[in-house]
Amino acid sequence: MFVPVSKPLIGEIEEQYVGDAIRRKEISGLVGTYLKEFESGFAKFCKVKHAATLNSGTTAIHLAVAALGIGAGDEVLVSTLTNMATFFAVLYQGAVPVPVDSEPETLNIDPALIEAKITSKTKAIIVVHLYGHPADMDPIMEIARRHKLFVIEDAAEAHGARYKDRMVGSIGDIGCFSFYSNKIITTGEGGMVTTNSDELDERMRSIKNLAFGTDNKFMHVAVGFKYQMTNLQAALGAAQLTRIEDIISRKRSLASFYTEAFSQEKDIQTPVEKPYAFNVYWMYNIVLRGALEGKRAAFMEELKKRGVESREDFVPFNQQKIFIDQGIVDPESCPVANRIGANGLYLPSGNDISEEELEYVAKNVVEVAHLLKG
């Protein structure tokens, strides 16, 4: 048996929609009904006024940072434990990303640590709803409002997650989503920005497609990017959107199954769902602790031998050698993220994982945990 960490759930609806886009010859990023359908469907799903398609989650975050006018010399507070795309988006603008450490249970930005990092140069906070659990948005929005900072939500891993009764991507100024092949829903590669602001929506739509002029198209109104999603990808996305509720409920039952299976394993930290949260469990992430702390490499190797794929957690920004070498960041500045980054891994969480595969993974995780504790 080999159980991969993820596999997209793609079938007949996707074939139909993409086939239709091809038959109509609507393949680019400008022409096509599926771009509109995917955008309006996704906006409705997120309960947000506007949604605009893009070619990746990375470009979504970059577009958000650019559209907020963030540039050279500005500082942006960013949750340190994330895909480095979140940090790169800030660096593309010549701005300075400032890492903020994580909460030990949710692995998200710790609101209690934000205020101490704010300076006169701080312009925004980027929160990341890691592995599908929403960040604690109320205190974050309160701090942001008091200091007049923008809030960008990196919801690349959290489509459909809720904070209290609000959908992620509808709480801050701009929400950013990814549709890479391992995400909750996919377009192969792709992204989306969401906002309730008419002005930001208009600006982002302009900049994402070369900022063409209105009277004279080729008299550009700004330095634009070419970040378009194609109608072919949007067809895939629109088809996937018909399944999103089903996928989320599969993720949630997968998580309950694993959590129950590991309930006796005190050296395995399992994902939480805080009272304010509706967790979509993008990937089922565990953190090794106690007698298993420091044994992740051996743990993953042993799982691999048994045909169970797993993936280590992100290396936090403050531990990235290229930035430590430049003297930009202190590697010890985020101790919680350092521990999680070194001891966390995620288990097979594919959208079409079978019950038999789930049982196989759970049984082997428990066996490997016991084996390594000796």
Ligand X SMILES: Cc1ncc(COP(=O)(O)O)c(C=O)c1O
Positions touching ligand X (CB under 6 A) are 56-58, 82-83, 85-86, 128, 154, 156-157, 178, 180, 191
Say how far apart CA 54 and CA 67 lie, in whole Å: 14
Residues present in the chain in total: 374
Closer residue to ligand X in complex, CB, 58/102: 58
Closer residue to ligand X in complex, CB, 179/360: 179
Minimum distance, C-beta of residue 356 to ligand X, in the bound complex (Å): 28
Minimum distance, C-beta of residue 57 to ligand X, in the bound complex (Å): 2
Say how far apart CA 43 and CA 136 lie, in whole Å: 22
Q: Which residues lie closer than 8 Å to 346 by C-beta, 6 or more apart?
A: 5, 131, 283, 284, 285, 286, 310, 311, 313
- Could you tell me which residues are beta bridge partners of residue 79? 100
Closer residue to ligand X in complex, CB, 157/267: 157
Minimum distance, C-beta of residue 272 to ligand X, in the bound complex (Å): 18
Percent helix, strand, coil in the chain, to 5, is 40, 15, 40
Minimum distance, C-beta of residue 180 to ligand X, in the bound complex (Å): 4
Q: Which residue is nearest to ligand X (CB)?
A: 57
Closer residue to ligand X in complex, CB, 157/302: 157
Closer residue to ligand X in complex, CB, 57/111: 57
Closer residue to ligand X in complex, CB, 99/191: 191
Are 137 and 127 a contacting pair, CB within 8 Å?
A: yes
Closer residue to ligand X in complex, CB, 41/191: 191
Closer residue to ligand X in complex, CB, 53/364: 53
Structure tokens at 262: 């590991």
3 state DSSP class of 268: strand
Are 345 and 310 a contacting pair, CB within 8 Å?
A: yes
Say how far apart CA 139 and CA 299 lie, in whole Å: 37
Minimum distance, C-beta of residue 188 to ligand X, in the bound complex (Å): 10
The DSSP annotation for 207-224 comes to: HTBTT--SSSTTS-SS--
Say how far apart CA 33 and CA 23 lie, in whole Å: 13
- Could you tell me which residues are beta bridge partners of residue 122? 75
147-151 — which CB contacts under 8 Å span 24+ positions? 147/115, 147/118, 147/122, 149/77, 149/118, 149/122, 149/123, 149/124, 149/125, 150/68, 150/70, 150/123, 150/124, 150/125, 150/174, 151/124, 151/125, 151/126, 151/127
Minimum distance, C-beta of residue 302 to ligand X, in the bound complex (Å): 26
Minimum distance, C-beta of residue 83 to ligand X, in the bound complex (Å): 4
Structure tokens at 240: 């996937």
Minimum distance, C-beta of residue 217 to ligand X, in the bound complex (Å): 29
Minimum distance, C-beta of residue 182 to ligand X, in the bound complex (Å): 8
Strand order in the sheet with 174-178: 50-54, 191-195, 174-178, 150-154, 122-128, 75-79, 96-100
Closer residue to ligand X in complex, CB, 81/238: 81
Structure tokens at 177: 């989503």
Closer residue to ligand X in complex, CB, 135/362: 135
Minimum distance, C-beta of residue 76 to ligand X, in the bound complex (Å): 14
